[in-house]
Amino acid sequence: MNERIELIQGDITTLQVDAIVNAANRSLLGGGGVDGAIHRAAGPALLEACRLLGGCETGEAKLTGGFRLPARFVIHTVGPVWSGGHHDEEQLLASCYQNSLELARDQECKTIAFPNISTGVYHFPKLEAARIALAEVKKYLLHNKLPEKVIFVCFDTENVEIYQRLL
């Protein structure tokens, strides 16, 4: 495994990293899954900060503080809803990783943690999502010194096993 890439199974809201990535919805006002967990752990100030951002388009990323989280920042990105693979879902998911990494670099983040973007209620196929995530991160790390470490945080065993096979 690339020494700059780490895989763990656990709760992204507990990590002491510079930035965690939130698999958000377009409103950025909270939701289910990892989005809801991040909002609950960060506290109401995160919701207030997100209200000021005016939402986020699919594939883009926006930054807030981490508030009550151990992470300094939350990078909110909106993954695509899987619609059979014929609506630029793969490129939009790749953009989530690219834009999140650029925001982390711009904030001089040494460490960033990603959840499994779009693989929950957005139904992106887990294997294909992991392939895209790893390809984009590896490509980015080849040309950038920051972030120094990228952590993929899988909540479920199925995603851990997929990432282990691909790594």
Catalytic residues: 35
Contact yes or no for 45/29 (Cβ under 8 A): no
* CA 119 – CA 53 distance, rounded (Å): 24
Give Rg (Cα) of the chain.
14
113 closest CA partner among 1, 27, 14, 45: 14
* CA 163 – CA 8 distance, rounded (Å): 10
The 3-state DSSP class for residue 8 equals strand
* CA 60 – CA 41 distance, rounded (Å): 23
